[in-house]
């Protein structure tokens, strides 16, 4: 299962959050972007439950993330 997570972080914390994300096995790529969010992370898991576990339990524990929005890939 693949998803993209749009992430907003505290000011000047993009580098540290990006570094944290890139060390997580579920994160295949992470990019800093300009626009309404600060980072986009490409996530791959085996099923919806593991995606939920990642988004709810792992991502929410990353310091300086202020909000996120998960977009599940349809095709």
The tens digit of pLDDT for each residue in 28-60 reads 999 999 999 999 999 999 999 999 999 999 999
The class of domain 2-72 in CATH terms is: alpha beta
Question: What integer is the mean pLDDT of 6-35?
Answer: 97
The first and second tokens of residue 33, run together, are 């972007």
Mean pLDDT of all residues in the chain? 97
Cα separation, 45 vs 61, whole angstroms = 18
Cα separation, 58 vs 75, whole angstroms = 25
pLDDT score, position 52: 96
pLDDT score, position 72: 97
Distant-in-sequence, close-in-space partners of 3: CB < 8 Å, separation ≥ 6: 42, 43, 45, 51, 70, 71, 72, 73
């Amino acid at each position: 299962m693949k998803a993209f997570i749009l992430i907003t972080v505290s000011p000047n914390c993009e580098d540290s959050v990006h570094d944290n994300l890139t060390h997580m096995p579920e994160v295949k790529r992470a990019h800093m972007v300009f626009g309404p969010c600060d980072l986009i992370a490409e996530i791959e898991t085996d099923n919806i439950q593991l995606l939920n576990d990642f988004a709810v339990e792992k991502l929410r524990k990353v310091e300086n993330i202020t909000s996120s929005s998960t977009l599940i890939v349809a095709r």
